[in-house]
Structure 1
Amino acid sequence: MGIKIKDFGKILTIVGVLILFTGIIYLFDRKLLLLGNTIFLTGLVLMIGLSDLKSFVFSSGRTKIFLIVMFGIVIMLIGYNVIGIVIELIGLLALLGIYLPVVIRFLHSIPLINNIFNISQLRSFSEWFSPDDRLPL
């Protein structure tokens, strides 16, 4: 039994995020950031599907935000890594910010990470992003 395309997309998305963080840790290494972006976007397309991704991006005014993310990638291609990653992260937060409470609730369900969220500063941060029990889906 082979691996499904969506599962492979999830793996690529996680690997892409890890490579992006590694690029940030290595003082905004351009090659790692571009490789992480490429793998992350490829994994996103495989995980969600091209038609669903198009309908998500081109619906309800998300096109401008998606263009901001792409502008951040272009800025990184030009050579301004710090400015590009900041623009890209702001765009991704604006594009996917509605799903942040779901991610925080998921992280609360993982035993070791739940202990990290019990630190007072992080607890107030996570309560600020998910104040009620409703999911945005």
Structure 2
Amino acid sequence: MISLTDSQKIGMGLTGFGVFFLFFGMILFFDKALLAIGNILFVAGLAFVIGLERTFRFFFQKHKMKATSFFLGGVCVVLIGWPIIGVVLEVYGFFLLFRLLPCCNRLHQKDTGPWLHPKPALHQRICGQSERGQHHGITLTSCMQISLGLNVAG
């Protein structure tokens, strides 16, 4: 079980509301105000969840500068008032930021997904099992939590 501090709980709430406002803003034909509120809440929530120092370390690593500039540039473009262009930049930057995780990168390289071609190898990779049936003990979710700096117990 994951133990969260009070500030991490607040951050999860802010991030959740940010994702909600972003989704709701896109449903309402890219409403500028909702997208701006969603962006601010999402970034603030991320800073609360993993801390300011880890947030800066995560975004401003040398090999992630392109992804960070697209993501934060998209946030700025949405705040300026061009929501469609900003959301496209944000989505591209978000994809680049999280595609660079080593455990998730394997899933994008070879397989198209279980909904197109069900493959036992993909299921084994997601469940963390090797070809010899040994369990690695790490799942995709826990890998993302570890990379974001959350306390993972177990």
Instruction: Tell me the TM-score normalised to structure 2 length.
Output: 0.64
Q: 1:40 to 1:123 in 2, by over 3 A?
A: farther
Aligned match for 2:57, one of 55, 58, 67: 55
Query: What is the alpha-carbon distance in structure 2 between the residues aligned to residue 64 and residue 48 of structure 1?
Result: 21
Q: Larger relative CO (CA 8 A, sep 6+): 1 or 2? A: 2
Q: Which AA in structure 1 matches 2:70?
A: I
Bigger-Rg structure (1/2): 2
Aligned match for 2:35, one of 33, 36, 45: 33
Q: Structure 1 segments of 4 or more deviating over 3 A? A: 120-124, 134-137
- Aligned position for 1:84: 86
Query: What is the alpha-carbon distance in structure 1 between the residues aligned to residue 83 and residue 89 of structure 2?
Result: 10
Q: 1:99 to 1:89 in 2, by over 3 A?
A: farther
Q: Which AA in structure 1 matches 2:34?
A: L
Q: Which AA in structure 2 matches 1:7?
A: K
Q: CA deviation at 1:122?
A: 9.9
Greater share of helix: 1
Q: CA RMSD in A?
A: 3.1
- Aligned position for 2:45: 43
Q: 1:47 to 1:123 in 2, by over 3 A?
A: farther
- Aligned position for 2:11: 9
Query: What is the alpha-carbon distance in structure 2 between the residues aligned to residue 32 and residue 122 of structure 1?
Result: 38
Query: What is the alpha-carbon distance in structure 2 between the residues aligned to residue 99 and residue 25 of structure 1?
Result: 33
Query: What is the alpha-carbon distance in structure 2 between the residues aligned to residue 20 and residue 74 of structure 1?
Result: 14
Moved more, 18-27 or 89-98: 89-98
Query: What is the alpha-carbon distance in structure 1 between the residues aligned to residue 68 and residue 40 of structure 2?
Result: 15
Deviations 1:40-74 (A, max 9, x none): 01100000101111111222411221111111122
Q: Which runs of 5+ in 1 are unaligned?
A: 102-117
Q: 1:22 to 1:57 in 2, by over 3 A?
A: same
Q: Which runs of 5+ in 2 are unaligned?
A: 105-113, 129-137, 148-154
Q: How many residues align?
A: 117
Q: CA deviation at 1:79?
A: 2.2
Q: 1:66 to 1:122 in 2, by over 3 A?
A: farther
